[in-house]
């Protein structure tokens, strides 16, 4: 009796919840309204079945509850009724399946003239490649992957020379132009998902998969990875900007081609050295770091990391509210006039002799190791050396007190949340693996043993 | 040579009659003891799985204030929760637990056909659980690759537990498959060969049909997992490249080349999809019997129900790639697999209709098992219908890998089968223990579990519509996920905690009632099927006393017109059918044909 | 009664005792044989899935076919002979005279052991020739498939050894008739599996 009422209420409640729920599909930004339509058809068919069958069941439970002197009716089967219900169900299934298959056929067949671009995923970031003037993407293979050629583009393939490479998690697409995304992975399975585009597909190492869509709404949308790809899965983010063709073309023209990235002149170390004098005040003449000046050790850090951080300071990505030391650094970075100057500086710093920084932090090394191995080593490596591949800087032998302040800043949201800090949000999330200052110091103490 | 009835193992019973405590409860070959051993180990493992789920639910609900779940542990907990619940809890409990207990009793046999192998099965199963649990204590911890164990991620440095944890998982699965095969051969052969006199296949209760077909599915599906596990072990330990393509780990090219990760997915889901029905079919069977008995009405459309079980079982082998619509496989497969998948809806829907029609014009006793059974129909309808979304290939594009998937499969193969587990335990508890559970506590347990799980999973579907991805340690900031989604996550966690804690009621109830429950009598529900007609309650070793039963009718003679009582046990001869005139009927008198 | 006819009857209308002591629908043979038949189907699924994986993996570009050593023909001969001896043992066990039963049954097993030794020798030769398991997927599959087949055979030999001990210690062939029967069936199965594997391995 009570159950009949509850089931009745649950049916009503579910329907009410459905209509009252604020959680529903995001606004669609691609020409896949047919997918949404299929979902609505399915919703109406299944919703009707849900309501009817459950209400009928609730009615039965109420109507045929045990009563004195009442006896159940003996009826082993009713083939006609069962066949009728089966046919009825079959019709319902066809009503859902037919439009589904029809739309799937559209999804499978890419329209002529769809512009191609490539999405390359790796642990745990996105990169993108657009064909150059020749309209062709050059051949690529993981065998060619290196720090200077993260896409693994075959250097011998003429088609690849003019490919536009975007080694950055933000991509652009032209509005109202059907595009076909070619999906590749350098390591594990990933999944290229933009909720507003409705379609998604796995990126599988060893093969190229695809999706196509026609962006219909200008805007900036998040790219999420939706295939478990390791510990950094949940922080593997990117974004896609849909904009009118002219703006898109302008953006594309500003990106380097593969050939340009390969033929970049070597940095001028001497020029970097000349400008380093200013840095030495806080970071020491050998880049060894001076804690009293809040200048962390620089020597031993990879050039690509130093370079990126200098840019961030210069552009105000780092050194924002709450980051007192960073605010001191920001004007210093302005001294470096252009990207070339930043490169020269980073290259010079990478030549400085690397002696491990003095240890200033102590803590529970075992606990630190436990946390480090489980959560940090995936990117910063077991030995704390870091690697360009995961965009993880070196930790071993660097200033431990600086590590503590930076992790604290990540945890407090002071560092890493700036829109242009491409890899900062990963650290904001991963830093939660350390519960409090004590655990941060434990990890710092463990990193001190890696030298 | 005298003809010994197949189902009679008198000679062997003598041989194995245990006398010591160890013989009775440890090295025991009695199918009922083995069933309880199987069930206990499965439920213990399930508790571990439940606790893991509560831990990661805490992280999802309250990411700011929960500090003891780090990303590594989150992925490990999610992975172990999934594998434990699907394989070590549900498969083992339905087949090893209920299968073992009910098959010989419902078929009218003294025991399983190979009692020694049966005993071996439960101990090997325990071994597999120990191996699995050991992975919590090795360096790196258990694997965190997701229960689907997709390569190449499983054995790469970015995944927690990618070395010892993974190896132990694969070895444990292989050992489990050995245990399952030993048990499974037993169940199948017992059903086929050891039915008592007169017990035709179509007189078997649907419980046996469900378990029987599920076991056959298991026997044919688990090899795919075994093959995948063996090849993955080779890849991980010996460096072969079955599944591993040329890939890069932390910037260094790994020593693999050319393997196919999608091949693994095909193998995995060739096991994985039938696995859904390995769990669902026994649940279908058990719930049919519970519904019929407490509605005092035969199960409606018995033949169709049997055919539907067989049809679903058969179809389940040709739908596996619907788990792989967005895996990067050839997209043209989508047409075929979407069609086969939606075809399954027809026999499945028929089963639902027939359950509801069993209630129609019944005389429904709202006993506790009935609450759970009706709750099951409700959640199963919900979970089944959402399956139509995901099966319909194009709808899977926006929804796959979101919380919609999580909500769907928990509704259909988490909540629904578990409600049947409770229905079945409450239903057969009086036979297993001889005592009645405490009804008030049991009802409270039902309400908390039923309403609580619905409160967890109904809203979770809507997180999926919104596009919230599954397997995210934390949502972080996105442009389309509002703060309210996080609040909803917190609410879901609260509901999950309530459901989790309320299971203590169940454990308290069944343990307390063992001692203090009312004496139940041999057949408190007035059930017609054979397992309620044993001479002793609980049934003793050998089940049937001196002579095996003989069966004269199907298992659903409820409310037969003209009969005195509203049920006629299966072993009541036609001539002794108790009519209104015949007051005194004693089924135990009938042994006229048992000693032929 | 066919299975189909069996499951279409309206069981609620069929009252009374149906069938004899053997329940309707049961196979007219020992339960052990039914169980073994099911197991053989399971093993067939295992080998089929390995084979399917083999063919799928073969399509990928890095595959270099392995030239199977000629010694496999000799090994195959051993396994064929082993199967023949088991068949002979089965015939003897079903006849009235137990003559030659030990030769046949034990000889069959010994030949199977020799087959396994032969397989190990080919493994060793391949290793010496530089065909390591990891050098190419074709090699990996060769080791994997022959290994899995060998493990199945070892399982059979375990049962065989128990029966052989009984036979040697004076049991009548009648007592282990069932065991001989089951071993024979299993050996024929593994012979067929091997012939199929051998055909696939040497033709690809």
Rounded to the nearest angstrom, the minimum Cα separation between B491 and chain A is 14
Interface check A241 vs B, CB under 8 A: no
Minimum-distance CB partner of B240 among C7, C16, C134: C134
Whether the upstream peptide bond of residue C185 has omega within 30° of 0, thus cis, is no
Taking residue C125's Cβ as centre, other Cβ atoms within 10 Å add up to: 12
Contact B544, B534 (CB under 8 A): yes
Rounded to the nearest angstrom, the minimum Cα separation between B201 and chain C is 7
In this predicted structure, what is the pLDDT of residue B68?
Answer: 86
Half-sphere exposure of B271 (CA within 13 A, CB side): 26
Contact B229, B170 (CB under 8 A): yes
Residue B483 vs residues A326, A427, B490, B496, C82: alpha-carbon distances, Å:
30, 21, 11, 20, 72
* Closest-CA residue of chain C to A77: C10
Mean pLDDT of C21-36: 87
Rounded-to-integer distance, Cα B284 and Cα C150, Å: 40
Rounded to the nearest angstrom, the minimum Cα separation between C87 and chain B is 25
Rounded to the nearest angstrom, the minimum Cα separation between B581 and chain A is 18
Q: Which residues of B touch A34 (CB under 8 A)?
A: 394
Helix (H, G, I), strand (E, B) or coil at A191: strand
Rounded-to-integer distance, Cα B98 and Cα B84, Å: 18
Q: Is the pLDDT of residue A430 over 80?
A: yes
Interface check B194 vs C, CB under 8 A: yes
Rounded-to-integer distance, Cα C81 and Cα A197, Å: 65
Interface of B with C in 381-440 (CB under 8 A): none
Interface check B256 vs C, CB under 8 A: no
Taking residue B71's Cβ as centre, other Cβ atoms within 10 Å add up to: 25
Rounded to 10 degrees, what is the CA torsion of A230, B271, B342, A198?
A: 10
Tens of pLDDT, residues A183-226: 999 999 999 999 999 999 999 999 999 999 999 999 999 999 99
Minimum-distance CB partner of B371 among A3, A60, A227: A3
Whether B385 and A222 lie within 8 Å, measured CB to CB: no
Token code pair at residue A232: 């950094």
* Closest-CA residue of chain C to A79: C10
In this predicted structure, what is the pLDDT of residue C68?
Answer: 82
Taking residue B224's Cβ as centre, other Cβ atoms within 10 Å add up to: 27
pTM: 0.94
Interface of B with A in 277-296 (CB under 8 A): 295-296
N- to C-terminal Cα distance for chain A? 72
Q: Would you list the DSSP string of A298-310? A: -TTS-HHHHHHHH
Interface check C3 vs A, CB under 8 A: no
Mean pLDDT of C28-41: 93
In this predicted structure, what is the pLDDT of residue C133?
Answer: 87
In this predicted structure, what is the pLDDT of residue B587?
Answer: 46
CA B465 distance to own-chain centroid: 28
- Which residue ranges form the domains of chain C, and what is each CATH number? 31-203 (1.20.120.80)
In this predicted structure, what is the pLDDT of residue A283?
Answer: 94
* Tokens 């193998």 belong to residue: B267
* Closest-CA residue of chain B to C19: B198
Q: Which residues of B touch C17 (CB under 8 A)?
A: 197-198, 550-552, 593
The helix or strand, by DSSP H or E, that contains position A180, with its residue range, turns out to be strand A179-185
Rounded to the nearest angstrom, the minimum Cα separation between B429 and chain C is 28
Rounded to the nearest angstrom, the minimum Cα separation between C30 and chain A is 35
Interface test with C, best of B185, B274, B305, B556 (most C CBs within 10 A): B185
Rounded to the nearest angstrom, the minimum Cα separation between B327 and chain C is 17
Interface check A373 vs B, CB under 8 A: yes
Q: Which residues of A touch C10 (CB under 8 A)?
A: 76-77
Taking residue B139's Cβ as centre, other Cβ atoms within 10 Å add up to: 9
In this predicted structure, what is the pLDDT of residue A380?
Answer: 94
In this predicted structure, what is the pLDDT of residue C2?
Answer: 64
Residue B48 vs residues A438, B78, B133, B302, B456: alpha-carbon distances, Å:
30, 12, 9, 38, 20
CA C77 distance to own-chain centroid: 15
In this predicted structure, what is the pLDDT of residue A325?
Answer: 87
In this predicted structure, what is the pLDDT of residue B1?
Answer: 32
Backbone φ and ψ of B414, nearest 5°: -105, -75
In this predicted structure, what is the pLDDT of residue B136?
Answer: 95
Rounded to the nearest angstrom, the minimum Cα separation between C78 and chain B is 27
Give me the total of CB pairs closer than 8 Å, taking one residue from chain A and one from chain B: 370
Rounded to the nearest angstrom, the minimum Cα separation between B23 and chain A is 45
Q: Please list the pLDDT of chain B residue by residue as tens digits (596 residues).
A: 334 455 555 444 554 566 676 767 778 889 999 999 999 999 999 999 999 999 999 999 998 888 889 999 999 999 999 999 999 999 999 999 999 999 999 999 999 999 999 999 999 999 999 999 999 999 889 999 999 999 999 999 899 999 999 999 999 999 999 999 999 999 999 999 999 999 999 999 999 999 999 999 999 999 999 999 999 999 999 999 999 999 999 888 888 888 999 999 999 999 999 999 999 999 999 999 999 999 999 999 999 999 999 999 999 999 999 999 999 999 999 999 999 999 999 999 999 999 999 999 999 999 999 999 999 999 999 999 999 999 999 999 999 999 999 999 999 999 999 999 999 999 999 999 999 999 999 999 999 999 999 999 999 999 999 999 999 999 888 889 999 999 999 999 999 999 999 999 999 999 999 999 999 999 999 999 999 999 998 999 889 888 899 999 999 999 998 888 889 999 998 876 655 444 444 444 444 444 43
Token code pair at residue A428: 């904001």
Token code pair at residue A148: 């200077």
Q: Which residues of B touch A379 (CB under 8 A)?
A: 158
Contact A256, A164 (CB under 8 A): yes
Interface of B with C in 113-172 (CB under 8 A): 113-114
Tens of pLDDT, residues C131-160: 888 888 999 999 999 999 999 999 999 999
Q: Which residues of B touch A6 (CB under 8 A)?
A: 451
- Within 8 A by CB and 6+ apart from B574, the residues are B552, B553, C15, C16
In this predicted structure, what is the pLDDT of residue B578?
Answer: 59
The region that residue A319 occupies, defined by phi over 0 for left and psi between -120 and 50 for alpha, beta otherwise, is left
| Bridge pairing between strands A237-243 and A219-225 | antiparallel
Tens of pLDDT, residues A321-340: 888 888 889 888 898 888 89
- Which residue ranges form the domains of chain B, and what is each CATH number? 1-5+23-204 (no CATH), 277-433+437-517 (1.20.210.10), 538-596 (no CATH)
Interface of A with B in 170-209 (CB under 8 A): 183, 186-189, 191, 193, 195-196, 198-207, 209
Rounded to the nearest angstrom, the minimum Cα separation between C166 and chain A is 54
Token code pair at residue B138: 């090795």
Minimum-distance CB partner of A90 among B73, B141, B346: B346
Q: Which residues of C touch A77 (CB under 8 A)?
A: 10
* Closest-CA residue of chain A to C62: A206
Contact B552, B572 (CB under 8 A): yes
Tens of pLDDT, residues A142-163: 999 999 899 999 999 999 999 9
C-alpha Rg value of chain C to the nearest Å: 21
Mean pLDDT of A355-376: 92
Mean pLDDT of A283-288: 92
Q: Which residues of C touch A206 (CB under 8 A)?
A: 60
The helix or strand, by DSSP H or E, that contains position A193, with its residue range, turns out to be strand A190-193
The percentage of chain A sitting over the pLDDT mark of 90, rounded to a whole number, equals 82
Contact C154, C116 (CB under 8 A): yes
Q: Which residues of C touch B219 (CB under 8 A)?
A: 38, 41-42
Helix (H, G, I), strand (E, B) or coil at A219: strand
Whether A206 and B484 lie within 8 Å, measured CB to CB: no
* Chains within contact range of chain B (3+ C-beta pairs < 8 Å): A, C
Helix (H, G, I), strand (E, B) or coil at A153: strand
Whether C46 and B258 lie within 8 Å, measured CB to CB: no
- Which residue ranges form the domains of chain A, and what is each CATH number? 2-64+80-108 (no CATH), 115-262 (2.60.40.420), 265-355 (1.10.760.10), 356-451 (1.10.760.10)
In this predicted structure, what is the pLDDT of residue C98?
Answer: 77
* Chains within contact range of chain C (3+ C-beta pairs < 8 Å): A, B
Interface check C10 vs A, CB under 8 A: yes
Q: Give the burial class of A283: count Cβ atoms within 10 A of its Cβ; 0-12 exposed, 13-18 middle, 19 or more buried.
A: buried
Rounded-to-integer distance, Cα A190 and Cα A181, Å: 14
Interface check C22 vs A, CB under 8 A: no
* Chains within contact range of chain A (3+ C-beta pairs < 8 Å): B, C
Interface test with B, best of C17, C23, C60, C62 (most B CBs within 10 A): C23
Question: B11 or A30: which carries more pLDDT confidence?
Answer: A30
């Amino acid at each position: 009796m009570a159950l009949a009422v509850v089931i009745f209420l649950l049916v009503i409640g579910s329907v009410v919840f459905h209509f009252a729920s604020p959680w529903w599909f995001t606004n669609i930004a691609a020409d896949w309204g047919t997918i949404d339509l299929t979902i609505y058809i399915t919703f109406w068919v299944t919703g009707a079945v849900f309501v009817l069958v459950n209400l009928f069941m609730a009615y039965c439970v109420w109507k045929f509850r045990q009563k004195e002197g009442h006896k159940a009716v003996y009826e082993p089967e009713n083939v006609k009724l069962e066949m009728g219900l089966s046919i009825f169900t079959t019709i319902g299934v066809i009503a859902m399946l037919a439009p589904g298959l029809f739309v799937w056929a559209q999804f499978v067949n890419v329209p002529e003239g769809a512009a191609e671009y490539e999405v390359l995923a790796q642990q745990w970031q996105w990169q993108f490649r657009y064909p150059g003037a020749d309209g062709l993407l050059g051949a690529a293979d993981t065998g060619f992957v290196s720090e200077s050629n993260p896409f693994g583009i075959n250097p011998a393939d003429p088609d690849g020379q003019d490919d536009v490479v975007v080694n950055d998690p933000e991509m652009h697409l032209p509005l109202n132009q059907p595009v076909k995304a070619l999906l590749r992975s350098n390591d594990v399975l990933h999944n290229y998902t933009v909720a507003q585009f409705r379609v998604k597909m796995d990126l599988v190492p060893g093969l190229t998969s695809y999706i196509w869509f026609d962006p219909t709404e200008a805007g900036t949308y998040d790219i999420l990875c939706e295939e478990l790809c390791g510990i950094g899965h949940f922080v593997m983010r990117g974004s896609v900007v849909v904009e009118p063709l002219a703006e898109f073309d302008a953006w594309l023209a500003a990106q380097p081609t593969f050939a340009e990235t390969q033929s970049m002149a070597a940095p001028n170390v001497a020029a970097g050295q000349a400008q380093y004098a200013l840095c030495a005040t806080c970071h020491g003449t050998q880049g060894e770091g001076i804690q009293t000046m809040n200048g962390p050790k620089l020597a031993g850090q990879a050039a690509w990391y130093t370079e990126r951080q200098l840019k961030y300071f210069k552009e105000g990505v780092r050194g924002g509210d709450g980051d007192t030391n960073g605010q001191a650094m920001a004007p210093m970075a302005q001294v470096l006039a252009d990207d070339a100057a930043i490169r020269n500086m980073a290259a010079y710093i990478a030549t400085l002799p690397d002696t491990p920084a003095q240890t200033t932090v102590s803590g529970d090394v075992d606990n630190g190791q436990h946390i480090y191995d489980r959560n940090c080593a995936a990117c910063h490596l077991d030995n704390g050396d870091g690697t360009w591949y995961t965009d993880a800087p070196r930790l071993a032998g660097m200033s431990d007190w600086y590590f503590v302040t930076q992790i604290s800043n990540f945890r407090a949201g002071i560092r890493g949340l700036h829109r242009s800090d491409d890899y900062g949000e990963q650290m904001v999330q991963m830093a939660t693996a350390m519960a409090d200052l004590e655990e941060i110091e434990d990890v710092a103490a463990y990193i001190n043993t890696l030298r | 040579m005298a003809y010994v009835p197949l189902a009679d193992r008198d000679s062997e019973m003598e041989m194995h009659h245990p006398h010591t405590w160890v013989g009775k409860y440890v090295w025991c070959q009695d199918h009922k003891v083995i069933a309880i051993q199987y069930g206990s180990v499965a439920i213990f493992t399930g508790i571990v799985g439940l606790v893991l789920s509560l831990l990661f639910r805490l992280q999802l609900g309250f990411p700011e204030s929960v500090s003891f779940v780090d990303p590594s542990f989150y992925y490990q907990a999610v992975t172990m929760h999934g594998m434990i619940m699907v394989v070590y809890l549900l498969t083992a409990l339905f087949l090893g637990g209920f299968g073992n207990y009910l098959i010989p009793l419902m078929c009218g046999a003294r025991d399983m056909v190979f009692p020694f192998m049966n005993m071996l099965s439960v101990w090997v199963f325990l071994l597999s659980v120990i191996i699995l649990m050991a992975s919590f204590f090795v360096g790196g911890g258990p694997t965190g690759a997701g229960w689907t164990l997709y390569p190449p991620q499983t054995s790469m440095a970015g995944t927690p537990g990618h070395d010892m944890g993974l190896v132990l998982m694969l070895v444990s699965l292989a050992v489990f498959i050995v245990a399952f095969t030993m048990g499974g051969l037993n169940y199948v052969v017992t059903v086929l060969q050891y039915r008592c006199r007169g017990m035709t296949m179509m007189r078997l209760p649907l419980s046996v049909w469900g378990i029987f077909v599920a076991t056959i599915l298991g026997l044919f599906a688990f090899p795919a997992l075994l093959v995948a596990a063996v090849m993955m072990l080779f890849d991980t330990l010996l460096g072969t490249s079955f599944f591993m393509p040329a890939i890069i780990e932390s910037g260094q090219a790994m020593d693999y080349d050319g393997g196919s990760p999608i091949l693994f997915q095909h193998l995995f889901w060739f096991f994985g999809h039938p696995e859904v029905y390995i769990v669902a079919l026994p649940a279908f069977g058990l719930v049919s019997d519970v519904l019929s008995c407490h509605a005092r009405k035969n199960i409606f459309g018995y033949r169709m129900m049997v055919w539907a079980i067989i049809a679903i079982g058969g179809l389940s082998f040709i739908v596996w790639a619907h788990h792989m619509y967005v895996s990067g496989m050839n997209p043209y497969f989508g047409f075929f697999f979407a069609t086969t998948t939606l075809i399954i809806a027809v026999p499945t829907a028929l089963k639902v209709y027939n359950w509801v029609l069993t209630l129609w014009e019944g005389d429904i006793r709202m006993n506790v098992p009935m609450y759970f059974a009706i709750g099951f129909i409700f959640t199963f309808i919900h979970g089944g219908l959402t399956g139509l979304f995901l099966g319909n290939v194009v709808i899977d594009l926006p929804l796959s890998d979101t919380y919609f998937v999580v909500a769907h499969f928990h509704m259909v193969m988490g909540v629904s089968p578990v409600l049947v587990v409770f229905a079945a335990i409450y239903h057969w508890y009086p036979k297993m223990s001889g005592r009645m559970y405490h009804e008030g506590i049991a009802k409270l347990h039902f309400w908390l579990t039923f309403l609580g799980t619905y409160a967890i999973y109904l809203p979770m579907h809507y997180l999926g519509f919104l596009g919230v991805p599954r397997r995210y340690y934390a949502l972080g900031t996105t442009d389309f996920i509002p703060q309210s989604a996080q609040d909803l996550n917190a609410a879901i966690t609260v509901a999950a905690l309530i459901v989790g804690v309320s299971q203590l009621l169940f454990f308290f109830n069944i343990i307390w009632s063992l001692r203090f429950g009312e004496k139940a009598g041999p057949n408190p529900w007035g059930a017609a099927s054979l397992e309620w007609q044993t001479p002793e309650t609980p049934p003793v070793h050998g089940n049937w006393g001196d002579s095996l039963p003989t069966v004269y009718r199907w298992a659903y003679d409820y409310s037969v017109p003209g009969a005195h009582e509203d049920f006629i046990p299966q072993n009541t001869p036609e001539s002794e059918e108790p009519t209104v005139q015949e007051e005194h009927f004693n089924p135990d008198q009938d042994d006229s044909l048992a000693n032929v | 009664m066919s299975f189909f006819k069996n499951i279409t009857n309206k069981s609620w209308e069929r009252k009374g005792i149906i069938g004899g002591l053997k329940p309707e629908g049961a196979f007219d043979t020992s339960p052990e044989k039914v169980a073994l038949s099911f197991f053989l189907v399971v093993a067939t699924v295992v080998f089929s899935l390995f084979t399917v994986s083999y063919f799928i993996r073969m399509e990928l570009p890095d595959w270099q076919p392995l030239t199977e050593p000629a010694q496999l023909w000799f090994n195959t001969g051993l396994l064929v002979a082993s199967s023949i001896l088991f068949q002979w043992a089965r015939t003897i066990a079903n006849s009235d005279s137990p003559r030659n039963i030990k030769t046949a049954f034990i000889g069959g097993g010994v030949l199977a052991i020799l087959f396994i030794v032969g397989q190990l020798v080919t493994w060793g030769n391949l290793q010496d020739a530089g065909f390591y398991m990891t050098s190419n997927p074709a090699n990996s599959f060769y080791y994997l498939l022959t290994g899995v087949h060998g493990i199945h055979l070892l399982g059979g030999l375990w049962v065989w050894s128990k029966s052989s001990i009984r036979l040697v210690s004076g049991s009548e062939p009648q007592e282990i008739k069932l065991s001989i029967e089951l071993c024979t069936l299993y050996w024929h199965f593994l012979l067929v599996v091997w012939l199929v594997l051998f055909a696939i391995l040497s033709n690809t």
